[in-house]
Amino acid sequence: MYPHERSLVKRLKDKPFALLGVNSDRNRETIKQVCKDKNISWRSFWNGGSTSGPISTKWNVRGWPTIYVLDEKGVIRFKNTRGDAMDKAIATLLAEMETQQTGAKKGL
């Protein structure tokens, strides 16, 4: 998934978009090296070295990878979308934001 994620980050660099990762591997130094080797430029948080760490517990993650696409209010709008489906989900949310901004500028 890294190549697709890298392309998203690059393509959407001037848009209100952020990609965040959560990693549950045991060795934090190994994760840092993988992020460097795989050119992961987005934030990737460590889940305490376990799939039952604090982040996955709070977000009720049961399988890896789990993907959440959140809107600008932090509401989960899509879950476990990948590839083209992820692109469409993100495009939908960006279009909604642009529509809201245009409406606000027109006083609607």
22-46 residue pLDDT tens: 999 999 999 999 999 999 999 999 9
**Residue 20, H or E segment:** strand 20-23
Q: What is the CATH number of the domain that holds 30?
A: 3.40.30.10
pLDDT digits (tens, 9 = 90+) for 48-61: 999 999 999 999 99
**In the chain, how many domains are there?**
2
Q: Are residues 57 and 12 in the same domain?
A: yes
Nearest 5°: the CA angle 105, 107, 108 is 110
Q: Are residues 52 and 20 in the same domain?
A: yes
Q: Are residues 25 and 71 in the same domain?
A: no
Q: Are 72 and 98 a contacting pair, CB within 8 Å?
A: no
46 closest CA partner among 27, 67, 70: 27
Q: What is the pTM of this model?
A: 0.80
- List the domain range (segments joined by +) for residue 33: 1-66
Alpha helices in the chain (DSSP H): 2-11, 28-37, 54-58, 83-105
